[in-house]
Amino acid sequence: MPVSPDYRPEPRFFDLGDEYGDAVRAAEFPKTLLRFRNDRAAATVGLETLTDAEWIAHFGRFEPLPGQPQPIAMRYHGHQFRTYNPDLGDGRGFLAGQLRETSRAQAASDSALPGRLLDLGTKGSGTTPWSRTADGRLTLKGGVREVLAAEMLEAQGVPTSRAFSLIETGEDLERGDEPSPTRSAVLVRLSHSHIRFGTFQRAAYFGRPDMIEALVEHARSLYHPHVAQGDVPGFLAAVVEASARLTARWIAAGFVHGVLNTDNLNVTGESFDYGPWRFLPFYEPGFTAAYFDQTGLYAFARQPEAVFWALTQLGGALKLAADAEALTEALNGFGPAYIRHLRAAFLERLDVKSLGEAADQRLLDSTLALQREGGEAIRWEPLFHDWFGGFASSARALAGPRAALYQTKAFADFRFALFEHEPDRPERLEHPVFAAAEPEEMLIDEVEAIWAAIDAHDDWSPLHDKLIRIEATRSARA
């Protein structure tokens, strides 16, 4: 059976018309070697029943899924490192289809809304009208890195696209920033919308309030249906709220996206498009992910600033369809929303209950102060691992490899703030993940080692083993 009865195609972006994208076809690849298929994600959209041969046909050769039209390369502009670029668009990817989450996935999310509308989007699927001089391809290393980033972020509760499929395509690619020739791949991600801030910027660039209004209504009705029809400031406020939540959860995860251009941020507040990402080894505000981010514009601690700046560009585009004062008021909600979501994210990472704004803020402040004062001695991820569950983890943490650190004066304020919060779900500590002395981390040396095994020996076992351990972490925290 090619798809399950739960499969529900709903290609809604295509309804907007040909001013928003271009019909394209995928490249024909010399090989299609299946390297990763996300069956857990596939089960949320009714595609887990595909055989490997059917999977390759749909996600390697891009034969259309039932009910899906020809793929479309989406049109958008964007600020790249705060320089406006009107020559953007899907240059090595396309929207391959849209479909609803299954009723099972909807029930698991406890949402009263219909199943979310999700996109199947590609990366490395060939040239499009927006490729410019590029080859439209993706390196296999880039695909492996995207799989790792998405899996780790999902395990940590960050709103993220999911790496759905990775297929090696048998081409030798030349790249200036890694040893070449290098292997090629095509990635498919499952994402909650690819409508970017830059999609609106493009309409504003051409002075088209009609396009802005159409985009707002399209995105409002599908992704923020609680906003009233025609309420453009209300739509912006919803995007601001979702973006604040995403940014807070990046910070709590110690994650640096690397390239927060306006074409890499979307209206649902879901993280996607992982290029030069990194996770912090320890607290370092100026930590950057991209070697080309020489000014630290998108450094770890500057990510809230970067997202807010991008939101102001979205607000500027929406001025063609709404009053500037009301849009400014919506934008001003970012700061309070970010702090609120940051407190909640840290509570969740430590698995403790809220005690109210003042107490929760003490815990947030003391956690960051401990990490700041501890420097390299207090690694980011181990602190959350050792103290998951608050005082319920005291014996475990004080018998672990970092016990000496937790006896110091610097730890006193954190301990007090943590212990005044009750554990949220201490039964989760029974999971084998918390019996381990060390948490699952995703630092650059391990990422490079995983790739080295693939590159030198075609050994995929380190990747598969890592994904199994990440899944265990996700399950333990779920």
Residues recognised as catalytic = 263
The first and second tokens of residue 349, run together, are 């990472």
Q: Give the other-Cβ count within 10 Å of 443's Cβ.
A: 14
Mode of pairing for the β-strands spanning 117-123 and 95-100: antiparallel
What is the DSSP code string of 59-111? HTS-PPPTT--S-EEEP--EEETTEEETT-S-SS--EEEEEEPPHHHHHHTT-
Residues 6+ apart with CB under 8 A from 260: 298, 303, 306, 307, 310
What is the DSSP code string of 263-306? TS-BTT--B---SS-EE-SB--TT--S-TT-TT-TT-GGGHHHH
Helix axes 209-223, 303-318, angle to 10 degrees: 120
- In one letter, which amino acid is 292? F
The first and second tokens of residue 106, run together, are 């909807």
Burial of 113 (C-beta count, 10 Å sphere; 0-12/13-18/19+): exposed
